[in-house]
Each structure stands twice: as structure tokens, then as C-alpha cells.
Amino acid sequence: MNTPTLNTERLILRKFTEDDLEALYAIYSDEEVNRFLPWFPLKNLEETRTFFKERYETQYEKPQAYAYAICMKTDNVPIGYINVDMEDHHDFGYGLRKEFWHRGIVTEAARAVIEQVKMDGLPYITATHDRNNPRSGGVMRNVGMKYQYSYEEQWQPKDILVTFRMYQLNLDGNEERVYRKYWDISDVRFVETEL
């Protein structure tokens, strides 16, 4: 069951492999692409190899893992990534090389992954985005996620103060459920009325 390959109209969503290191580097080394992500941009292929082993190979060893390379069907080369974490927050995350932005690619990939995790029985997913990155919230809304609350966090390893917006999509029909962990651990939390 571990990370089944998914196909959409334009995309193949599959596991990253050791053969993808250059493509991974192209995604994770770009400062603009990684500006709102928790890690620092990768500096070389050696760092990329370590990152691949820590971030992806360890995921693929688990019985259930949703850590996908986003590839165009035309060449099956990774241009981005999309994943759902299997910890209790079921955090949904994504990134895409900037030359592919504004084409609906992440939304298309996200719909396929959400369909898969729903089929596999995940009760909900959450996602957060930096308030300074509203386009990411647009993707969350496009796939049916609902804004729940905002909170501040001293973000590591970058050690910067970030105000996050937390979105959630309940997949099991329980519309009342709100994942409250971020709310509970943050000293500064609030609900925004206009996004």
C-alpha cells in the first residue's frame, strides 16, 4: 500500500528515487520556492542526497506514506512534491519549481492525493501557510479545505516568528472536528474574519 503511484490528466505522482537527485536539487535549492518552507535551501548534490535519505527513504519504509514527486506525464521528471504526514496532524504540504507556478498543477496533484488518503481511511488532513504567502491558502481553499484559525510560532530551524493560518479538511463526514494542537500550544492565536 505504501505510496501508490497516482495519475491525473497531466501528472504522474510517484515516489522519489535516487535517480531524481538532480531534480530534487532543482526544487529544494531555489530560495524563492523555499522561502516559506521550514528548511534552508539545499546547497549541493551531497546535501540533496542526505535530504533524500532523511526525508524520503525513511518515509517509504513506513507501512503508510504519502510523499510524492509531482511529475509531468511528458517526461516523468519531478518538478515538485506533495505529501501528507502520518503524524496526528496529517499535515498536507507541497512545493513546486517556480517556472511551473500558476498552472493549477499543485491543485491537480492535491485532489488526487486527497482522494487517495480518503479512500485509505484518513479521517482528516490539515495544512498551514505563512500569512505572507496567501497563494498557498488559495490552493488549500481550491481543494475544499476550510480556514480554522491563525497562530504564531517561532519557526525552526530558520528561527523566525511566523503567523500561520491553519486549514483543515475532514474526510470522514465529521464536520465539527477541528485539530486544536497548534491553537493550544501557541500564546498568540486568533481567528481572522477576512482572508
Task: Please report the pLDDT score of residue 40 as a whole number.
Answer: 83
Q: What is the pLDDT of residues 123-148, one digit of tens each?
A: 999 999 999 999 999 999 999 999 99
Task: Please report the pLDDT score of residue 194 as a whole number.
Answer: 83
Q: State yes or no: pLDDT of 17 exceeds 80.
A: yes
Q: How far apart (Å, rounded) are the C-alpha atoms in residues 30 and 50?
A: 17
Task: Please report the pLDDT score of residue 195 as a whole number.
Answer: 77
Q: Where are the alpha helices (DSSP H) in 105-177?
A: 105-119, 134-142
Q: Which of 56, 62, 58 is nearest to 24 (CA)?
A: 56
Task: Please report the pLDDT score of residue 4 as a whole number.
Answer: 86
Report residue 43's pLDDT band, with 50, 70 and 90 as the boundaries: very high
Task: Please report the pLDDT score of residue 46 as a whole number.
Answer: 96
**One-character DSSP codes across 67-86:** EEEEEETTT--EEEEEEE--
Q: Which of 150, 161, 164 is nearest to 193 (CA)?
A: 150
Whether the Cβ atoms of residue 68 and residue 20 lie closer than 8 Å to each other: no
Per-domain residue ranges of the chain: 6-190
Mean pLDDT of the chain: 94
**One-character DSSP codes across 112-129:** HHHHHHHHTT--EEEEEE
Q: State yes or no: pLDDT of 1 exceeds 70.
A: no
Kindly state the average pLDDT of the residues 157-168: 93
Task: Please report the pLDDT score of residue 62 as a whole number.
Answer: 86
Q: What is the pLDDT of residues 104-114, one digit of tens each?
A: 999 999 999 99
9 is written with which cell numbers?
A: 490528466
- Which phi and psi angles does 182 have, rounded to 5°? -65, -40
Q: State yes or no: pLDDT of 2 exceeds 80.
A: no
93, 124, 113, 30 alpha-carbon torsion, rounded to 10° = 0
Q: Which fold has domain 6-190?
A: Aminopeptidase (3.40.630)
Q: What is the pLDDT of residues 46-104, one digit of tens each?
A: 999 999 999 999 989 888 889 999 999 999 999 999 999 999 999 999 999 999 999 99
32, 34, 37, 39 alpha-carbon torsion, rounded to 10° = -140
